[in-house]
Amino acid sequence: MKITEKEVEYVAKLARLYVSDEEKEKLTKDMSAIIEFADTLSKIDTDGVAPAAHAIPVQNVFREDVVKDSYKRDDILKNAPEKEAGCFSVPKVVE
């Protein structure tokens, strides 16, 4: 499929981009090459090929969930400038 300069102008307008005449010429060639490549891909025979989300088989990659002890609250609050009821106390920022 051949892309025209008018189509490049239309896409540039949608993207709210200013494109000079030299850029239009280059973009027309580049976009045409991209579309031609996509057309070549559509000619590949994919009969018998199962659809896949990944190029290689992927198993569950998540680690095992293990319960561990956390830091003690007093140790966490030890360097807090202000604390109240076992929590960090911060100034009110919303009225």
Q: What is the pTM of this model?
A: 0.48
Domain ranges of the chain: 5-42
Q: Considering only residues 29 and 55, tell me which one the structure prediction assigns the higher pLDDT.
A: 29
66-89 tens-digit pLDDT: 999 999 999 999 989 999 998 999
Choose which CATH entry (1.10.10.10, 2.40.50.100, 1.10.20.60, 2.40.128.110) describes domain 5-42: 1.10.20.60
* Spatial distance between the Cα atoms of 54 and 49, rounded to a whole number of angstroms: 13
Residues 6+ apart with CB under 8 A from 7: 31
* Spatial distance between the Cα atoms of 16 and 7, rounded to a whole number of angstroms: 14
